[in-house]
């Protein structure tokens, strides 16, 4: 059979429009496969920063824009809009800041897809138009649990090509998944963090403590734990008011966590009491860390409105080793209680100090309950 006879019977391959359509289907299929692959990666992150870094890497590799700037609402109303930006595939500090997302929130409430700067500029006040200094090509919304949570400003492509309709479609679809990923992160953070201080909550801390105990037993490793409590916090609330007390707690949390390593776990235990789990940390090293925390708090001036407030902290420490941990200290509550008794000792010695749990400490505490004058002379309470 000749080619002409063959194609006369099978006319589809000979139709150029059909071939174009098949090629278009192939490209769309590849784009969807890529979208699904990139979208899957969005759901493996537990922090907003990690999620944004992933989003940035996908967009930078896909389109090579001149820059990418992400502006995110802060979970704390007292904090400014956060900025995470990249230029030439590297972290970058853009020359503009955004004070509020309210104007963008109004625009993207009606339109939940990407927009060119021209499309959005007429809806912005003079202050909102500050992003014009970035010479933006696209502005893309990121939806949180309560509406717009952030915007992504994308510069023109390095190769000076316009973003095609297919590329705009990919970006819009990708950010549908990105918003879902962001909402998952926000749900997770609400479940494991303290709403006031943004530290981990007691429940999450207990879970991590269980894991560290199991690891210590299995591998013979060690960790240290300390309980920190702000001194005379009730008097602070009585003098300055509970709003001032809440603000001191927030500022204290930031100072506290800056003194620890990224792998350590810091949590709010309740009220003005905080916990820290120092993984793979000896007792000696934990004392050094606790003293650093204590000195940092004592030297920091906390502020509420126009008022300057000074506070101190007392800290109790215990250490756990999987090979020779003290009997009866295999449960999280028992370990925390031992550090809490050391904290009690630090308070009794005059506050603003660090005490370590020693053999005989529990007996010393019991004796003090019967005779408060004896505690200071008890050897178990020596730092």
Q: What is the pLDDT of residue 316?
A: 96
The answer to whether the CB of 113 falls within 8 A of the CB of 172 is yes
The answer to whether the CB of 367 falls within 8 A of the CB of 375 is yes
How many CB atoms neighbour CB 1 within 10 A?
A: 7
How many whole angstroms from its chain centre is CA 364?
41
At a CB cut-off of 8 Å and minimum separation 6, what does 181 contact? 42, 43, 45, 51
How many whole angstroms from its chain centre is CA 336?
25
User: Structure pTM?
Assistant: 0.73
The segment(s) of the chain belonging to CATH 3.30.450.40 are 3-192
Q: What is the pLDDT of residue 380?
A: 39
List of the chain residues with pLDDT < 50? 327, 363, 365, 367, 369-370, 372-383
Task: Report the CATH fold assignment for 3-192.
Answer: Beta-Lactamase (3.30.450)
The answer to whether the CB of 143 falls within 8 A of the CB of 183 is yes
Q: For domain 202-381, which architecture applies?
A: 2-Layer Sandwich (3.30)
The segment(s) of the chain belonging to CATH 3.30.70.270 are 202-381
Give per-residue pLDDT as tens, 218-274: 888 999 999 999 999 999 999 999 999 999 999 999 999 999 998 999 999 989 999
Alpha-carbon gap, residue 296 to 260, rounded angstroms: 12
Q: Which alpha helices (H) appear in the chain, and where do they start and end?
A: 3-9, 16-40, 48-63, 102-110, 117-121, 165-192, 202-219, 233-240, 242-258, 283-299, 332-348, 361-370
The answer to whether the CB of 166 falls within 8 A of the CB of 231 is no
Give per-residue pLDDT as tens, 236-246: 999 999 999 99
Under DSSP, is residue 301 helix (H, G, I), strand (E, B) or coil? coil
How many CB atoms neighbour CB 82 within 10 A?
A: 17
Q: What angle do CA 5, 9, 11 make, to 5 degrees?
A: 105
How many whole angstroms from its chain centre is CA 382?
38
From 221, 207, 297, select the one nearest 253 (Cα to Cα): 297
Q: What is the pLDDT of residue 374?
A: 46
Q: What is the pLDDT of residue 80?
A: 83
Q: What is the pLDDT of residue 1?
A: 56
Q: What is the pLDDT of residue 327?
A: 47
Under DSSP, is residue 268 helix (H, G, I), strand (E, B) or coil? strand
From 49, 48, 143, 145, select the one nearest 104 (Cα to Cα): 143
The answer to whether the CB of 60 falls within 8 A of the CB of 157 is no
């Amino acid at each position: 059979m000749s080619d002409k006879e063959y194609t006369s019977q099978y006319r589809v391959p000979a139709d150029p429009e059909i071939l174009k359509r098949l090629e278009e289907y192939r490209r769309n299929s590849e784009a969807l496969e890529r979208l699904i692959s990139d979208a899957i990666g969005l759901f493996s992150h537990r922090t907003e920063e990690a999620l944004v870094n992933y989003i940035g890497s996908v967009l930078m590799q896909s389109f090579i824009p001149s820059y990418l700037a992400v502006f995110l609402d802060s979970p704390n109303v007292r904090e400014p809009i956060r900025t995470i930006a990249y230029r030439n595939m590297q972290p970058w500090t853009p020359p503009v800041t955004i004070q509020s997302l309210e104007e963008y929130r109004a625009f993207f409430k009606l339109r939940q897809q990407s927009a060119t700067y021209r499309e959005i500029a007429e809806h912005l006040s003079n202050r909102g138009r500050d992003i014009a200094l970035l010479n933006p090509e696209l502005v893309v919304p990121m939806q949180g649990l309560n509406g717009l949570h952030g915007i992504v400003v994308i510069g023109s492509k390095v190769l000076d090509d316009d973003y095609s309709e297919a590329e705009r479609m990919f970006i819009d679809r990708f950010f549908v998944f990105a918003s879902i990923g962001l909402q998952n992160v926000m749900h997770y953070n609400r479940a494991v963090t303290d709403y006031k201080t943004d530290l981990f909550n007691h429940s999450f801390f207990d879970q991590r403590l269980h894991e560290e105990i199991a690891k210590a037993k299995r591998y013979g490793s060690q960790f240290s734990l300390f309980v920190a409590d702000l001194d005379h916090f009730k008097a602070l609330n009585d003098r300055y008011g509970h709003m001032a007390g809440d603000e001191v707690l927030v500022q204290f949390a930031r100072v506290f966590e800056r003194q620890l390593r990224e792998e350590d776990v810091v949590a709010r235990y309740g009220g003005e009491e905080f916990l820290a789990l120092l993984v793979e940390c000896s007792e000696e090293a934990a004392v050094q860390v606790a003293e650093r925390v204590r000195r940092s708090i004592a030297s920091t001036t906390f502020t509420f409105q126009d008022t300057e407030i000074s506070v101190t902290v007392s800290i109790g420490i215990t250490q756990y080793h999987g090979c020779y941990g003290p009997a009866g200290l295999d449960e999280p509550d028992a370990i925390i209680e031992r550090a809490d008794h050391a904290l009690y000792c630090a308070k009794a010695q005059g506050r603003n100090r660090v005490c370590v749990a020693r053999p005989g400490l529990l007996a010393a505490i019991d004796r003090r309950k019967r005779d408060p004058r004896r505690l200071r002379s008890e050897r178990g309470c020596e730092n």
